[in-house]
Structure 1
Amino acid sequence: MKLTVNLPNRAYDLWIERGNLKDVGPWLSDLWEPQKVVIISDKTVASLYGNLVHEKLTEAGFEVSLLAVEPGEASKSLANAEWLYEELAKKGMTRSDGVVVLGGGVVGDLGAFVASTYMRGLHFVQIPTTLLAQVDSSIGGKTAVNTRQAKNLVGTFAQPDGVLIDVETLNTLDDRRISEGIAEIVKSAAIADKKLWDKLAGLNNSRELLAEAVAVIHACCVVKKNVVEEDELDHGIRLILNFGHTIGHGIENTYGYGVVTHGEAVSLGMIRISQAAEQKGMMPKGTTEQLTDMLKKFDLPVTLADWRPEAVFQAITHDKKTRGSQIKLILLEEIGEAKIVTLPLVEVEDFLE
């Protein structure tokens, strides 16, 4: 399946299939002239797919090298960005050369951030290898690294030249990583795709979802494509993609990046904000129950035993959706339709009790 993201100044394709990673050479040759290419990955993904991608790109006429960071959210840092800048410089990379970002959401954000800022920007492509990255983070052009204060605090908007999604890479993920990606799938359905929600409701477990992976990933990519085309730079409707993320990012920052995975934090964030919004009459009664049932079915957490509302609130004050003393929260009008609500930042504490 191919899907085109059409933006005012450019367009690029997503290619979603089973087994298309072996065709990465011809795919990239259609996008770029022969040049220096650096693959940015993590050590786990590089051990699985690095040699294949290196070999196929070399066969296609590219001068290829590979750089790998440690796996895990802690690698999405300014320190790693600086190391990558230095390595790109050592390899003589110029603005005529390109970066292939190979991996999950951490590598996707870090590698794209480095590509978009080194020499004021190299062109790059995304090859996401986790479910979370395939349905969300590799699409739309957001790049970022974390700081001690907040997740994704430093970043850019930079669109890739293309995205290659090989569903077969999901076979190497453990159950927790699959569930993490499903949190973003549930989010996409909840905010903008009732048909996808109904499809998920008809599945019994993660295994059945993976059997439908091409169609499910495609549906999520359509949701994100439509929103990004309308609001590339996150000033308006694109904010609905952050359902569960304001509290979720606060949870990640408070409990430790990777201790609670991004998808787990989003799951917890969706439930926490929905419970509070229902109690305040800001969301329809029963919405939280529907979300809870869906998330639990796919082995995602809906409660957190060691709840630290004050610390989470402090993390939220650094959220990028904060504007002065106000913050934009994403709530549901109903399953399949989201709304943006602007509240005084101090009132967000009520959503955390």
Structure 2
Amino acid sequence: MRRIPVEVPAHGAKPYDVIISGELLDEAGKIAKNVVKPCKALIFTDNNVVPLYADIVEKSLANEGFKVFRFIYESGEDRKNLQTVEAALNYLTENEFTRTDLIVALGGGISGDLAGFTASIYLRGIEFIQIPTTLLAMVDSSVGGKTGCNLAGGKNLAGAFYQPRCVICDPDVLETLPPEQFACGVAEAVKTGILGSTQLFDLFRGGLRKNDIPAVIEECVSIKARIVQEDEKEAGIRKVLNLGHTVGHAIEKISSYTIPHGYAVATGMSIIARACAKEGICSSQTAQDIVIVLKENGLPVETSFSADEIYSVAVLDKKRKNDVITLVLPQKIGSCLLKEYDVKAVKSFFEKGLT
């Protein structure tokens, strides 16, 4: 069992552990009991995860004295909205949850984001824990406290920074993950290698091997934990974790969320890498390495959307300040920089990555 500590003392959040081990779902109740006293516990999950893991987690929690409830929503990016959050809030109210009770996010990144956001605003904040069941959630979204939902104008435009009490990662659950969802997690893990670790990036050359998955999860969590500890609320260095996301979020929105998040981010990273090579920010070899590794792992590196279409959505990016957008740009494998662009100059930069 590996425990990776995450500390964000500057903003008053309690330190917590990301626990990584096989056969861990059966221990969820014991782990939860170590961070909160037995209480009402709401399993917040979607209809796809329920038949796979809800009973296991519910039994584990109940065995440790928790009174377990379930909030189940229909899976899909189009359900990551304020309507789902409101339904969850109403469910908590109807069942008389108090500030001493608990929300358990069980599922992928959408469940984690929605459950965490709900926890952050119900009674101005109740405890929650993360039990990610997708590779994407394990390597990225379950760690660091970003929570939220989509609005009509774009992705993750409503949300809060709100840290969990613990994160329980059981790689065994990835056996049930559809290949497309697994590839989405690989995209986020490759991103982490590009911005922080040549050794991690090299694990994806020729395609990720099954026996390397636990090491990938540990390294991604360790890198993200270090960044979050330095910059919890994305005032500076944490912005590097958005590599590929400005373009990726735009692609998701334009496609009406029919393109999965990881696929969109992979395409976004490819576009940014090619543009960086043309501007001399990285070498053509670095850009080529990024594109090849993404392709070797079954991820898309091209889009049919135009620079105009991408730009029209990207200008709403959360990292925009007045007429300036900060882009994350790879310099070499293991290192990225943050560069501010005038909004009007961003479209031509995107065009360089599309041609």
TM bin, normalised by shorter chain, reads over 0.9
**Which residue of structure 1 aligns with residue 224 of structure 2?**
224
Q: Does 1:162 align with 2:166?
A: yes
Offset of residue 333 of structure 1: 1.8
Aligned partner of residue 44 in structure 1, secondary structure: coil
1:153 aligns with 2:157: yes
Identity of aligned residues (%): 37
TM-score, length basis structure 2: 0.96
Give the equivalent residue in structure 1 for 2:112: 108
Q: Cα deviation per residue 1:7-53 (whole Å; 9 max; x = unaligned)?
A: 11321000011111111111111111111110100011111101111
Q: 2:308 is matched with which residue?
A: 310
Distance 1:241 1:11 in 2: 21
Do the aligned partners of 2:194 and 2:336 also contact (CA within 8 Å) in 1?
yes
Q: Does 1:76 align with 2:80?
A: yes
Alignment partner for residue 98 of structure 1, among 102, 121, 125? 102
- Contact 2:204/2:297 (<8 A) preserved: no
Alignment of 1:250-289 (within 5 A): 250-257=250-257, 259-289=258-288
- Letter in structure 1 aligned against 2:123: M
Flag structure 1 segments of 5+ consecutive residues without an equivalent: none
Structure 1 runs, 4 residues or longer, greater than 4 Å off: none
C-alpha contact (below 8 Å) 2:251/2:305 kept by paired residues: no
The aligned residue for residue 33 of structure 2 is: 29
List aligned pairs for 1:127-142, cutoff 5 A: 127-142=131-146
Q: In 2, are the aligned partners of 1:40 and 1:101 still within 8 Å (CA)?
A: yes
Match for 1:315: what amino acid?
Answer: V
Letter in 2 for 1:266: V
Q: Normalized against structure 1, the TM-score is what? A: 0.96
> What is the aligned partner in structure 2 of residue 301 from structure 1?
300
Supply the distance in 1 between the matched residues of 2:50 and 2:170 (Cα, whole angstroms). 15
Deviation at 1:216, TM superposition (A): 0.9
Q: Is the 8 A contact 1:272 1:351 kept in 2?
A: no
> Deviations 1:248-297 (Å, cap 9, x if unpaired)?
0011111121x111100000000111111211222222222101110011
Q: Is the 8 A contact 1:276 1:350 kept in 2?
A: no
- Quick one: distance in 1 between partners of 2:202 and 2:294? 14
Instruction: Give per-residue Cα distances to partners, 1:281-321, cap 9 Å, x unaligned.
Output: 222222221011100110000112x2232222111111100
CA distance in 2, matches of 1:310, 1:70: 33
Match of 1:291 in 2: 290
Count, aligned residues: 347
Q: Distance in 2 between matches of 1:56 and 1:216?
A: 27
Q: Which amino acid aligns with 2:33?
A: S
Amino acid at match of 2:262: G
Q: Which amino acid in the other structure matches residue 221 of structure 1? A: V
Q: Secondary structure at the match of 2:151?
A: coil
> Where in structure 2 are there 5+ consecutive unaligned residues?
none
